[in-house]
Amino acid sequence: MKAANRSTAILIKLWFGLLFTFEFLFVTSLYSLGKEETPQTSKGMERSFQVQQEEAFTRARERMVVSQIEARGVRDPKVLAALRKVPRHRFVPLNLEERAYDDTPLPIGYGQTISQPYIVAYMTEVLQLKGGEKVLEIGTGSGYQAAVLAEITTHVYTIEIIPELADRARKALDDTGYGFVRTRKGDGYYGWEEESPFDAIIVTAAAGHVPPPLLNQLKAGGRIVIPLGGPYEVQMLTLVEKGIDSTFRTTQLMPVRFVPFTRKTDTR
């Protein structure tokens, strides 16, 4: 029975993926057919194509939330609303747009990835944000996780060590309406001391241990979610909670695979 359920789930995911690909190719073909028209008609066709394309992405985003996120147990309405709103396709390379809502991480260059949608949702839910908290993200990457956080709180700070990714994420955040997110280029191991303390910290790369500066910059009652483990093994997504007496409680959540936590000495 379990094997049958898994097979059914796989078939549903494949069906959703094929449906979105068909929609994407269909509106693209409509746009191509209109290219021989007059300049004015061509502009109208281009606008129509863009509208239809965005509508297709919106449907794909809804399917993503229903089949990948709600189906796996994420229930926080603020998190679900954020995943329904943030245009994930605007945070991936252009050649991967039609795969933006697939149930998988995607490469974004420089050995980095945009995390699987479910993992983004799950890690955000673990932070238990109510709205208005001050949140630090280590590892901006594409900027997508920061945008999801920014749908819940306007006080989002994010650090990226790879300059090219930091610049690209900054532009993506600005272009999608999240210009208020604070970004910084640098080694996330040391956090963002002058803006601390933070109510929550999310780390999107696997580390061998929780960086002590991040523990120090966490408010009493705050939470850190971080993947712990080596770069060539399955890591453990871990929750660290800071008590009012500055003691820490650690909870292992689930096995995951993340790119390694890059330090300044590791960059090329």
Q: What is the pLDDT along the chain (268 residues), one digit of tens a residue?
A: 434 444 444 444 544 454 455 454 444 444 444 444 555 566 666 677 778 889 999 999 999 999 999 999 999 999 999 999 999 999 999 999 999 999 999 999 999 999 999 999 999 999 999 999 999 999 999 999 999 999 999 999 999 999 999 999 999 999 999 999 999 999 999 999 999 999 999 999 999 999 999 999 999 999 999 999 988 789 999 999 999 999 999 999 999 999 999 887 544 3
Cα(27)–Cα(162) distance, integer angstroms? 36
pLDDT at 264: 77
Query: Could you tell me if 26 and 98 lie in one domain?
Result: no
Q: Give SS3 for 178.
A: coil
Query: Could you tell me if 66 and 120 lie in one domain?
Result: no
- Angle 65-67-70 (CA atoms, 0-180°, nearest 5)? 60
pLDDT at 214: 98
Query: Could you tell me if 125 and 238 lie in one domain?
Result: yes
82 lies in a domain? Answer: no
113 lies in a domain? Answer: yes
Cα(188)–Cα(191) distance, integer angstroms? 5
> Catalytic annotation on 42?
no
Cα(250)–Cα(253) distance, integer angstroms? 10
pLDDT at 13: 54
- How many other CB atoms are there within 10 angstroms of residue 109's CB atom? 13
78 lies in a domain? Answer: no
20 lies in a domain? Answer: yes
189 lies in a domain? Answer: yes
pLDDT at 231: 82
83 lies in a domain? Answer: no
Query: Could you tell me if 10 and 103 lie in one domain?
Result: no
Cα(28)–Cα(47) distance, integer angstroms? 12
Q: What is residue 201's DSSP assignment? A: E
Both ends of the chain: CA-CA distance in Å? 50
Query: Could you tell me if 34 and 115 lie in one domain?
Result: no
For CA atoms 168, 172, 175, 181, the dihedral sign is: negative
pTM over 0.75: yes
Query: Could you tell me if 14 and 98 lie in one domain?
Result: no
pLDDT at 51: 84
Query: Could you tell me if 213 and 139 lie in one domain?
Result: yes
* Residue 221 lies in domain: 94-266
Query: Could you tell me if 208 and 111 lie in one domain?
Result: yes
35 lies in a domain? Answer: yes
Q: CATH code at 234?
A: 3.40.50.150
109 lies in a domain? Answer: yes
Largest CA distance in the chain: 71
Domain count for the chain = 2
Query: Could you tell me if 208 and 109 lie in one domain?
Result: yes
Query: Could you tell me if 126 and 38 lie in one domain?
Result: no
Instruction: Name the packing angle between helices 39-64 and 77-85 (round to 10°).
Output: 160
Q: Domain boundary residue among 41, 72, 103? A: 72
Q: Which of 48, 115, 142, 246 is catalytic?
A: 115
